[in-house]
A and B are shown apart, each in its own frame.
Chain A
Amino acid sequence: MRLLRNRSDLPLARDPSARFLSWITAVMVYLATLAFAGQMMVSDMAERWDSGLAGGVTVQVVPLVGPGASPVAERVETALAILRGTPGVVSATTLPAAETARLIEPWLGADAAADPHLPVPTVIDVVVEPGTDVAALGRRLDAAVPGSSLDDHAAWLADLRAFAGAVELAALAIVALVGGAGVMAVVFAVRTGLAIHRHVVELLHLMGATDRYVARQFESHVLGLCLGGGLAGLGLAAATLAGIHRASAGLRASLLPDFALTAAQWGLLAVVPLIACALAVATARLTVMRTLETMP
């Protein structure tokens, strides 16, 4: 509260750096908030996919052509029998044809599943306990069920985790860069203020002002500017995220992840301008204290 008092011995509010710092903070907070929100969305998406796919195995049985090829239904029954008889397999259920059709519809069209020339496989959704030897299970199916294949999604999950990690790193790098640029802007503004008001600072110093007394005046000034700019940046970022969410709601759900944030995530985003303010105040204090140390 002491930092937010109005009276100041230094006429800092008239400095040209005042408006500049507000705008800079608004842009910084806007970018940091968007980067942070993007990181949270990708992290959520990866977590959903990860939890949905972990422990899940998919077995596909494709139609075979040629003399001696047994019907798909017969081979699916064999596969189900093998799967249900294997220790560690929790469940094995055939995906209904309608569900298979719904899955391929966005890629091949609404009538694709009904096309007799398209070898649409029968999909068996299998849930296994952790530690189950999926590779051995695959070899048994290969030997007993021609035209079958087993996918434990390991490659897909590894790619997904790598992608989510890369996005998180990129978001962190953006936040770090934005924070660094913000710190430099505050250092510049404070040094400019110190240079412009050097005679006042020297006078206060000679009258017995401590370095902290002078620094508090700069901290108060910087806090006011950054709070205003930070809230503006947060407001703009919230509007941008709301706009993206609204635009993405019209897209087919299976193509893009959900761009919605939870209340807790909005709460975390609201902390961004406060962190920016804390960083700016700490920077202002350090800059002033280090400069004043050179005075006798």
Chain B
Amino acid sequence: MIRFENVGLRYGTGPEVLRDISFSLPPGSFHFLTGASGAGKSSLLKLMYLAHRPTRGLITLFDRDMASVPRTELPAMRRRIGVVFQDFQLLDHLSALDNVALPLRMAGAPEAEVVEQCAELLRWVGLGNHLDARPPTLSGGQQQRVAIARSVINRPRLLLADEPTGNVDDSIGMRLLYLFEELHKLGATVVIATHNEALIRRFDHPRLHLEHGQLHALPPHSARVAVSTGPR
């Protein structure tokens, strides 16, 4: 699904924020991406959702070498990736339903289908009474749920989330993670950047840990616990 080989990223002439990143995520995997603030989690996610090109190294996505993919094919690839941005990135002039509908409309889905699917998903995330609400009238948690609904509405093959539970209470956060789990069970590859240790413990998935611009793959929490508490 995703393979990074010796990838480096720098902004302008600044220092490298990511160095020699190499990893491979198989299709249908679920990983947490962790690391201190400023470690480069958002930058790594940006490389994955094709917002930036690496300054060096090779990225393979959906079995395509990204260096050789022509620009005209990138929109179709991006439509297979769902992204939950840290700051939501909702369009304030559009209703919650129209925000969620964006990926479907871009893909040219019939309007009746768009409205039906978006309304259903918004009801599922507890926003059935806010279909026509503009984002500025919603709370932070509600906005986040709209952003998550938008990221999953077209059933992406790759789902990337940057601190998706940062602004919601634990019960909502748990519910959203269950939504990601459902998509994962349907075959989506999921990468969630988070600081929330409780969630990492609750959902037992391997971890990609960033430290000083370099990546370390860690096993699921249960395996680490087993190692640390096992017989000596």
With contact pairs A208-B78, A210-B75 given, residues A9 and B91 touching in the complex (Cβ less than 8 Å): yes
Residue of B71, B78, B80, B94 near A206 (CB, 8 A) is B78
With contact pairs A296-B50, A296-B52, A296-B53 given, residues A7 and B75 touching in the complex (Cβ less than 8 Å): no
CB distance B106 to A208 under 8 Å? yes
Residue of B50, B52, B81, B102 near A9 (CB, 8 A) is B102
Asked if B164 is at the interface of the complex by the 8 Å CB criterion, the answer is no
Asked if B24 is at the interface of the complex by the 8 Å CB criterion, the answer is no
Given the complex of chains A and B, what is the CA–CA distance between A206 and B49 in angstroms?
7
Task: Encode contact with A along B53-66: 1 for CB under 8 Å, 0 otherwise.
Answer: 10000000000000
Asked if B112 is at the interface of the complex by the 8 Å CB criterion, the answer is no
For A7, A207, A210, the residue with the greatest tally of chain B CB atoms inside 10 Å of its CB is: A207
- Which residues of chain B from 71 to 88 have any CB-CB distance to chain A below 8 Å in the complex? 71, 74-81, 83
With contact pairs A296-B51, A296-B52, A296-B53 given, residues A207 and B91 touching in the complex (Cβ less than 8 Å): no
CB distance A206 to B50 under 8 Å? yes
Given the complex of chains A and B, what is the CA–CA distance between A207 and B82 in angstroms?
8
B45: min CB distance to chain A, Å: 11
Q: Closest residue of chain A to B111, judged by CB?
A: A7
CB distance A208 to B79 under 8 Å? yes
CB distance B106 to A203 under 8 Å? no
- Which residues of chain A from 154 to 208 have any CB-CB distance to chain B below 8 Å in the complex? 199-200, 203-208
CB distance A207 to B53 under 8 Å? no
Asked if A213 is at the interface of the complex by the 8 Å CB criterion, the answer is yes
CB distance B106 to A213 under 8 Å? yes
Given the complex of chains A and B, what is the CA–CA distance between A209 and B105 in angstroms?
9
| Complex contacts, B212 vs chain A, CB 8 Å | none
- B contacts with A, residue count (CB < 8 A): 25
Asked if B206 is at the interface of the complex by the 8 Å CB criterion, the answer is no
Q: Closest residue of chain B to A206, judged by CB?
A: B51
Given the complex of chains A and B, what is the CA–CA distance between A9 and B74 in angstroms?
20
Given the complex of chains A and B, what is the CA–CA distance between A210 and B52 in angstroms?
17
Task: Encode contact with A along B79-118: 1 for CB under 8 Å, 0 otherwise.
Answer: 1110100000101011000100011011100000000000
Asked if A130 is at the interface of the complex by the 8 Å CB criterion, the answer is no
With contact pairs A210-B75, A296-B51 given, residues A204 and B106 touching in the complex (Cβ less than 8 Å): yes
Number of contacts between A and B (CB, 8 Å)? 50
Q: Closest residue of chain A to B78, judged by CB?
A: A208
| Complex contacts, A206 vs chain B, CB 8 Å | 49-51, 78, 83
Residue of A11, A199, A209 near B106 (CB, 8 A) is A209
| Complex contacts, B93 vs chain A, CB 8 Å | 11, 14
Residue of B75, B81, B91 near A209 (CB, 8 A) is B75
Q: Closest residue of chain B to A14, judged by CB?
A: B93
Q: Closest residue of chain A to B93, judged by CB?
A: A11
With contact pairs A11-B93, A296-B52 given, residues A208 and B98 touching in the complex (Cβ less than 8 Å): no
CB distance A203 to B89 under 8 Å? yes
Given the complex of chains A and B, what is the CA–CA distance between A202 and B94 in angstroms?
16
CB distance B50 to A207 under 8 Å? no
Given the complex of chains A and B, what is the CA–CA distance between A132 and B90 in angstroms?
83
Given the complex of chains A and B, what is the CA–CA distance between A203 and B102 in angstroms?
11
Residue of B52, B71, B98, B106 near A207 (CB, 8 A) is B106
| Complex contacts, A204 vs chain B, CB 8 Å | 102, 106
CB distance A200 to B91 under 8 Å? yes
B141: min CB distance to chain A, Å: 21
| Complex contacts, B50 vs chain A, CB 8 Å | 206, 296
Given the complex of chains A and B, what is the CA–CA distance between A273 and B76 in angstroms?
37
With contact pairs A207-B106, A296-B50 given, residues A9 and B94 touching in the complex (Cβ less than 8 Å): yes
Q: Closest residue of chain B to A296, judged by CB?
A: B53
Beyond A207-B83, A208-B78, A208-B103, list 12 extra A-B contacts (CB 8 Å): A9-B91, A11-B91, A11-B93, A199-B89, A200-B91, A203-B89, A206-B49, A206-B83, A208-B79, A209-B75, A210-B75, A213-B106
Q: Tell me the B residues contacting A by CB distance below 8 Å.
A: 49-53, 71, 74-81, 83, 89, 91, 93-94, 98, 102-103, 105-107
Q: Tell me the A residues contacting B by CB distance below 8 Å.
A: 7, 9, 11, 14, 199-200, 203-210, 213, 293, 296
The 4 residue pairs across chains A and B that have the minimum distance between CB atoms? A208-B79, A208-B78, A11-B93, A210-B75
Can you name 27 A-B pairs with beta carbons within 8 Å?
A7-B98, A9-B91, A9-B94, A11-B91, A11-B93, A14-B93, A199-B89, A200-B91, A203-B91, A204-B106, A205-B75, A205-B78, A206-B83, A207-B79, A207-B83, A207-B102, A208-B75, A208-B76, A208-B77, A208-B78, A208-B79, A208-B103, A208-B106, A209-B106, A296-B50, A296-B53, A296-B71
